[in-house]
Amino acid sequence: MNIEKTVIDNFCNLIKFDTTSNPHSSTYPSTNSQNEFAKIVAKKCEDIGLEDVKIDENGYVIATLKATTNKNVPKIGFIAHMDTSPDYNGKNINPNIIENYNGKDIILKNIVLSPSEFPSLNKYIGKKLITTDGTSLLGADDKAGMAEILTAFQYLKNNPQIEHGEIKLAFTPDEEVGNGVTYFNVKDFGCDYAYTIDGGGLGELNYENFNAVDATINIIGKNVHPGHATNIMINSAMIANELLSMLPDETPTNTKGYEGFYHLTDIKGNVEKTNLHFIIRAFDKEEFENKKQTITNIVNTLNKKYNNILELNLKDSYFNMYDILKDNMEIVEKAKNAIEKAGLNVSVKPIRGGTDGARLSFMNLPCPNIFTGGHNFHGPYEYICIDSMVKAVEVIINIAKDI
């Protein structure tokens, strides 16, 4: 079995299918295309020869590769998500394969993928890349993870002389809209721990992520004829602007590393009514609570000034997986060893976002995150290095056989 050819074929076949999730849907999964895709993926699992293949009532694809050893070893899971981001077009994806990247600008339809703008490209001179054609995202987040898991399982199935315990895969819907494991049955999955294959560049390993909360603020104004508005009109849009000016200058543009932020994702309004939506992020739990208190204090201050016309709703989304993994560092060390055995340097980075693994860790399934090899997710500048995909497959195999 040629791992490189297999992982490319798997990836290019998977991205043919539009599986964009929808944050405004009331169904689960949020789009029917994910249900249809799940059937295709389940058939692929059966073709590989995996057992106990099923799609549960919530659209999760689960499959098992039976143990080849009688040793009493932990059951390990590998998890990726089926949906692609609604941030950009996920239809009619046409992968552009570059056999030997020369380090220069890559000219695509309507855009240029340039190392001057995306310096990560400089790491891959002479390597094989897959880019978009410029009209869609690529879908490496996270169909690269799916392809790598499928390839690793196929390799292990074809090589039964390799000793490993029982390993399972799970492919989840709706990760991109924050509901990837909302209905995931950890007990039924039956693993002692798992790894999401949903990370970025070569050698990356993640076991820290943001604490996350959504904040929605509704402001109700009073609209009268502007010619007769003296001491009567209350302009909700102007009050929204006042609120924004009171926030700390801690935006995604101005922060990095372990720094948290306030991110205004959406604002709609007029004189009568304005709605603002924020995502608020912090690694440290105390900082996280302080940020929630800061926006609460701002709203309270404005309510005193304008007679209670603002309404704030805070909804926690996910928490820092390190709070769980700090007591399970042996599985992090196992991932580090697997990456090193693949001939790579381990690059431990905090996730400035979240993964299914963050929520799963708090559902009694400790779950660090491993690289896929992709870059620039969620847009037309997305690309992935084929050599990195091969190494991700090797890492999964190394983890499975580390018994």
- Residue-wise pLDDT tens digits, 124-176: 999 999 999 999 999 999 999 999 999 999 999 999 999 999 999 999 999 99
pLDDT in tens, 196-246: 999 999 999 999 999 999 999 999 999 999 999 999 999 999 999 999 999
| Predicted local distance difference test score (pLDDT) of residue 204 | 97
Q: Dihedral of CA 380/384/385/386: which sign?
A: negative
90 with 133, same domain: the answer is yes
Mean local confidence (pLDDT), 94-115: 96
Are both 370 and 327 inside the same structural domain? yes
198 and 234 share one domain: no
Are 96 and 190 within one domain?
Answer: yes
Domain boundary among 292, 317, 342: 317
pLDDT over 90 at 186, yes or no:
yes
CATH number at residue 222: 3.30.70.360
Total-model pTM? 0.91
From 18, 83, 142, 250, the catalytic residue: 83
Q: Are residues 327 and 182 in the same domain?
A: yes
Beta bridge partners of 374: 384
Q: Which of 141, 166, 174, 175 is catalytic?
A: 175
Domain shared by 170 and 262, yes or no: no
Mean pLDDT of all residues in 296-308: 97
- What is the average per-residue pLDDT within 252-268? 96
DSSP state of 209: B
Tell me: do 84 and 182 sit in the same domain. yes
Clarify whether residues 179 and 64 are in a common domain: yes
What is the C-alpha to C-alpha distance for residues 150 and 326, in angstroms, rounded to an integer?
A: 29
d(CA 16, CA 230): 59
Are 72 and 172 in the same domain? Answer: yes
pLDDT band at 403 (very low <50, low <70, confident <90, very high): confident
Q: Rounded distance, CA 289 to CA 70, Å?
A: 48
Q: In the prediction, which pLDDT does 355 show?
A: 85
CATH code for the domain of 184: 3.40.630.10
The amino acid present at 127, given as its one-letter code, is K
User: Is 175 known to be catalytic?
Assistant: yes
pLDDT tens per residue across span 375-395: 999 999 999 999 999 999 999
Average pLDDT for residues 175-188, to the nearest whole number?
94
**Cα separations in angstroms, 45 against 10, 234, 331:** 12, 60, 26
Residues 182, 167 share a domain: yes
Q: Answer yes or no: is pLDDT of 7 > 90.
A: yes
Question: Catalytic residue at 83?
Answer: yes
Whether 35 and 16 share a structural domain: yes
The chain-wide mean pLDDT, for the chain, equals 96
Q: Reply yes or no on whether the pLDDT at 353 is more than 90.
A: no
Task: Point out the domain boundary residue: 273, 301, 317.
Answer: 317
Per the structure, the complete domain to which residue 11 belongs is given by: 3-208+320-401
Is the pLDDT reported for residue 354 higher than 90? no
Cβ-Cβ contacts under 8 Å for 153 (sequence gap 6 or more): 45, 48, 50, 63, 65, 78, 167, 169
Q: Give the pLDDT confidence score for residue 157 in this predicted structure.
A: 97
Q: Which of 300, 317, 334 is the last residue of a domain?
A: 317
Handedness of CA 150, 151, 154, 155 (dihedral sign): negative
Whether the CB-CB separation of 171 and 132 falls below 8 Å is answered with no
pLDDT at 115: 97
Please, which residues have CB within 8 angstroms of residue 107's CB and are 6 or more apart in sequence?
Answer: none
> In the structure, what pLDDT confidence band is assigned to residue 342 with cuts at 50, 70 and 90?
very high
